[in-house]
Chain A
Amino acid sequence: MNQEGRTAYLNARLLDPASGLDETGALLVEDGRIADFGAHLFRTGAPSVNEVIDCKGLCLAPGLIDIRVQLREPGEEHKETIETGTNAAAAGGVSSMVCLPNTTPPVDDVSVLEFIARRSRELKRSKIFSYGALTKGLAGEEITEIGLLREAGALAFTDGERALADAKIMKRALSYARTFDALIVQHPLEPSLSRGGVMNQGELATRLGLSGVPTVAETIQVERDLRLLESNGGGRLHFAHVTAPAALEAIRRAKAQGLDVTCDTAPHYFALNENAVGDYRSFAKVMPPLRSEADRQALVEAIADGTVDIIASDHSPHDQDSKRLPYEQAAFGVIGLQTLLPMTLELYHNGHVSLLEALSRLTDRPAARFGIPGGRLRRGAAADLVLFDPDKPWTISEEAMVSKSKNTAFGDRPVQGRVVRTVVDGRPLYVAPARR
């Protein structure tokens, strides 16, 4: 028998985006798995369990899945480690995440993949899955051992924060990946157009005297890759952190046409616009850059209409020395594991999507696309759960971040929605401090 035994979650608002379930009921965890759940459960009598958790009517949903995370281990442990990163994940309700291959060394070899998997198993924290590098050394020249990496557990293939620019290599990668039904993830920015840019191109960049990255850099890359996918006669393609209205429109059309393409975006792109860097605020410096207000609104629409399948944090920890620099020199990226849920719930609170639709982009949709077990409430499945209060107001602050790096773009932002408990394989990894 597993030491966890039986735990009953009573009086919960059960949410399962995959099945559309939204009802008050109970959920029973047995040996780290979901034994049963529903309105009927424990109606007739007190459960004989080791532990009873009164959910007090709060939401109990599948643990969140974050498909775009950098944990910096191995190589940059001064910014984040698997341990500190999984602490942040647990505090954010994230039970599974997929890590980018841009570590040092990069995940272009089975041995690095195995190192990360072993560290993850040892720590028994939130589950860590990994991307494999799409090209050796992320250099964009030779494709990696996609088959071997896939066998060793790589969920998808990407060059991380670099676009695979060379059309011929991309064509080969899409073609070769079909053998293994492997998903390719592109960082869609045409490098010769985005090179040197540090913020959105436009009036504000001109006023600040900063080099801009035009949205067309993203659109061109997306359109080119969609053409390659089409000419490939098949294959699976996903675009990371899409921000440009025309790129979203191209993806919308490609989906209607039947291409196997998906995309994600990150909370900073739908919650902030370029004005966030207006005072040379390097903590809001990201790539692609925060866009104009009109672009942001188009992105919210694309999330609502389903063009954007997944919301990912794009968690990119950077220490103070990398961020507290003149804007142009500061590193790109923000942390996001801990703010993923409240920022996504903003879309629900603002009336753009339903609660289940918001959660779907953090649970069953990423699970299905990346082949991650979980993301739904299912009898017999691992008990990866998040209990949260969807309305609880709080203010994001650097001090509240448990990540090793504190580079949040949302400092001082009032939000609604707080994680109360994060459960992985039936074990509580995070329990919010009791309310006063």
Chain B
Amino acid sequence: MSIAPGIAFPHRHLLGIDGLSPPEIIHILDLADSYVEQSRRVDKKSTLLKGLTVINLFFENSTRTRTSFEAAAKRLDADVINMAISTSSIKKGETLIDTAMTLNAMHPDALVVRHSDSGAVQLLAEKVAGAVINAGDGRHEHPTQALLDALTIRRRIGHLDNLTVAICGDIAHSRVARSNIHLLQIMGARVRVIAPPTLLPSAIDRMGVEVFTDMRAGLRDVDIVMMLRLQLERMQGSFVPSVREYFRFFGLDREKLACAKPDALIMHPGPMNRGVEIDSELADDIDRSLIRDQVEMGVAVRMAVLDVLTRPLREAGATEGGGE
């Protein structure tokens, strides 16, 4: 994966958090800090990626993540092409590799890819010319979400190490949980997962996390509570018996939050199911909830990722221009 050891982010693609080192993560977060400042200016635009093409390739619906990547690329002056490919057209016979070949003809410099199958983004990355950013593959990884969560925490608390973070909800089906488990552990935080056993993947303890099926016990003394979205179809008897039972035992409300540290903060990757996994009023409590910050940090982190991954390309381009 590493193409040039010694430089700050020596990877061609960002396929996952697993395998990144603390300095590489810190480098992205530091860079993202500067992009937060840029994004708060009246003139939000710089010309770093001028002339480069970024393709947003979404095989799975997502308005929020795609918009966030689009805003990030445009603030850096890249040309952005959005491609939403429904899985039905895949079923018509075109394979992922066919798609990759088609895209190569457009000479993309970066591809932002979301796919409903774990590992699909990696497969695509093996076949395309540009840098690939995983915007979520199946239940595997969603690295930019973990990075934006880390940035959000770091900006509020100042550090990541020695924090205790509880990730609550549908761990089994969550790529956000997996990327966050990796990142937080790499950065020296302690991670707990809290869920009913039916929503815990097998052998999750082997990933180094503490496992709780009692939310109050799991929240004791935590600094951060990360709630996950529970898909509606999983709440009607297949994984948990009902919404009301789930909310009663695993939904975050003030009473359960009281088990955590007094200043514990709440996060959620969105979109929220208010009243299912999180109490609606609590989600909007600006003293406790970082949910709105997370959205802002998303754009900054994605700018940083686009920056580091296209850097070798831009440097090569500069030499090319200088020779003329």
Where the two chains meet, the residues of A that have a C-beta atom closer than 8 Å to any C-beta of B are 201-203, 205-210, 212, 214, 279-280, 321, 324-329
Contacts and interface: CB of A to CB of B under 8 A. Distances in A.
A206 B202 contact: yes
Contact of B117 (A202, A321, A326): A326
Interface stretch (B136-144, B154-162, B218-226): B136-144
B183 to A, nearest CB: 14
B202 A209 contact: no
Interface in B199-233: 201-204, 206-207
Interface in B177-209: 178, 201-204, 206-207
A321 B120 CA distance: 15
B115 interface: yes
Interface of B: 18, 95-97, 115, 117-120, 122-123, 137-141, 175, 178, 201-204, 206-207
Contact of A202 (B18, B97, B202): B202
A327 B116 CA distance: 11
Given A203-B207, A324-B97, A326-B96, A208 B119 contact: yes
A324 B96 CA distance: 9
Given A207-B178, A207-B207, A328-B138, A212 B202 contact: yes
B120 A326 contact: yes
- Residue among A206, A209, A214, A329 having the largest count of chain B Cβ atoms under 10 Å: A209
Nearest to B202: A201
A203 B119 contact: no
B118 A210 contact: yes
A273 to B, nearest CB: 15
B156 to A, nearest CB: 29
Given A326-B118, A328-B120, 6 more contacts: A205-B202, A206-B207, A207-B207, A208-B118, A279-B122, A325-B95
A206 B138 contact: no
A184 B122 CA distance: 42
Nearest to A328: B117
Nearest to B171: A206
A209 B175 CA distance: 7
A210 B96 CA distance: 18
Nearest to B91: A329
A76 to B, nearest CB: 16
Contact of B137 (A203, A205, A209, A325): A209
A280 B119 contact: yes
Contact of B203 (A206, A209, A329): A206
Contact of B118 (A214, A321, A328): A328
A280 B122 contact: yes
Contacts of A326: 96, 115, 117-120, 123
A1 to B, nearest CB: 56
Complex A-B, nearest 9 residue pairs according to Cβ-Cβ distance, in ascending order: A209-B139, A280-B119, A209-B140, A326-B120, A209-B118, A326-B117, A203-B203, A206-B201, A203-B206
